[in-house]
């Protein structure tokens, strides 16, 4: 059983029920409040040896990342953060004082930068490795949360930054969640679908298209490859890294094609970052790519899945 299969089983076992309008399967859950406004809840668990290596990074960077991945999920839903809930497992509170203080400083820096507080949590000691779970609640920047399941044929497929090499360079610890870009887009444009690229474009694109009942056609040439991917690698190897390394935490967006120019200009002007059109949403299911040589190929799901 892979992660995708398990998630599909969970969706059957736990169907949405009021006031939950979007449940398992998107970057976050959407709850409709009594007054019609929406709250969005996201959660991510980070584990030593999987998502970071405490032997080779600072506690601050771990606290930072634990929050940043959740902020990225909120950005993906077109939402800003309100409050975080942090659960921690350490081997001994007394022995872990330096670790805990560092984690808290990392979280505090993010809370001040992005304007939320930590409103609760749970602290436990055990014999196992360090683990941290963050759950965050947020509100839509615009008048609604943005889902991954509502891409439409003809939409442009857009990414908000270059991909690949994040783990190699430790960018996965220092990335800036795309809240600013999300707010600009959510408040000014009819964004059809959005998610964050956490497991790699190759698999996350499939997830968005499958959820939307659509497909997509990418142009290999147009996919922005991060400088963190060694430039002396062959083009196919560099492209593969961009498609499958994961932990990019850029936004993947489906936007009506007639809006892309204005949206790109706004984001460039106010967030100083580029929106790159990498393809088109198609009615035909499945993901395909036009390679640099002009040939069209099926794009197999690639990227990171827990096995």
Binding its own copies by CB under 8 A: which of 135, 167, 211, 274? 135
Examine residue 256 and tell whether it contacts its own copies (CB under 8 A): no
> Nearest approach, Cβ of 181 to its own copies (angstroms)?
23
Examine residue 143 and tell whether it contacts its own copies (CB under 8 A): no
**Coil, strand or helix: which one is 145?**
coil
Examine residue 127 and tell whether it contacts its own copies (CB under 8 A): yes
Q: Which residue has the tokens 């147009």?
A: 222
Examine residue 91 and tell whether it contacts its own copies (CB under 8 A): no
248 near 161, Cβ under 8 Å? yes
**Coil, strand or helix: which one is 44?**
strand
> Nearest approach, Cβ of 129 to its own copies (angstroms)?
5
Binding its own copies by CB under 8 A: which of 54, 57, 118, 290? 118
**Region label for 121, one of left (φ > 0), alpha (ψ between -120 and 50) or beta (otherwise):** left
Contact region with its own copies (CB under 8 A), list: 100-108, 251-259, 272-280, 288-296: 100-108
Examine residue 274 and tell whether it contacts its own copies (CB under 8 A): no
Contact region with its own copies (CB under 8 A), list: 46-54, 153-161, 178-186, 253-261: 46-54
Q: CA-based angle 239:242:245, to the nearest 5?
A: 125
Number of chain residues interacting with its own copies (CB under 8 A): 70
**Looking at beta carbons only, is 41 or 75 nearer to its own copies?**
41
Examine residue 8 and tell whether it contacts its own copies (CB under 8 A): no
| CA–CA gap between residue 80 and residue 33 (Å, rounded) | 17
> Nearest approach, Cβ of 23 to its own copies (angstroms)?
4
58 near 102, Cβ under 8 Å? yes
- Alpha carbon 307 to chain centroid, angstroms: 20
Binding its own copies by CB under 8 A: which of 8, 49, 230, 297? 49
What is 78-136 written as a DSSP string? TEEEEEEEEEEEES-TTTTHHHHHHHHHHHHHHHHHHT-EEEEEEEEE-SS--EEEEEE
Instruction: For residue 199, report the phi and psi dihedrals to the nearest 5 degrees.
Output: -105, 0
Residues that bind its own copies (CB under 8 A): 1-3, 6-7, 9-10, 13-17, 19-20, 22-24, 26, 28-29, 31, 33-35, 37, 39, 41-45, 47-51, 82-83, 85, 87-89, 92-94, 97, 100, 104, 108, 111, 116-129, 131, 133, 135, 137, 306-307
């Amino acid at each position: 059983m892979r992660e995708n299969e398990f998630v599909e089983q969970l969706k059957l076992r736990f169907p949405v029920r009021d006031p939950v309008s979007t449940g398992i399967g998107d970057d976050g859950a959407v709850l409709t409040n009594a007054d019609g406004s929406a709250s969005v809840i996201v959660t991510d668990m980070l584990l030593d040896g999987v998502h970071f290596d405490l032997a080779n990074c600072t506690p601050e960077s771990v606290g930072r990342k634990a929050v940043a991945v959740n902020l990225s999920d909120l950005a993906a839903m077109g939402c800003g953060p309100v409050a975080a809930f942090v659960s921690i497992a350490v081997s001994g509170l007394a022995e872990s004082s330096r670790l805990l203080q560092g984690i808290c400083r990392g979280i505090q820096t993010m809370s001040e930068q992005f304007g939320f507080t930590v409103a609760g949590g749970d602290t436990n000691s055990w014999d196992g490795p360090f683990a941290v779970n963050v759950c965050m609640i947020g509100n839509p920047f615009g008048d609604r949360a943005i889902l991954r399941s509502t891409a439409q044929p003809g939409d442009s497929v857009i990414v908000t930054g270059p991909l690949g090499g994040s783990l190699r360079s430790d960018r996965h610890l220092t990335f800036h969640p795309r809240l600013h870009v999300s707010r600009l887009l959510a408040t000014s444009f009819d964004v059809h679908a959005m998610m964050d690229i956490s497991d790699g474009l190759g698999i996350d694109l499939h997830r968005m298209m499958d959820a939307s009942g659509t497909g997509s056609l990418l142009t290999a040439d147009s996919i922005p490859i991060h400088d963190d991917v060694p430039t002396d690698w062959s083009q196919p190897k560099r492209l593969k890294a961009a498609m499958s390394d994961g932990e990019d935490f850029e936004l993947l967006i489906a936007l009506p094609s007639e809006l892309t120019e204005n949206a790109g200009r706004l984001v460039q002007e106010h967030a100083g970052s580029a929106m790159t059109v990498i393809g088109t949403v198609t009615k035909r299911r499945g993901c395909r790519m036009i390679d640099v040589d002009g040939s069209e190929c099926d794009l197999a799901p690639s990227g990171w899945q827990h096995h």
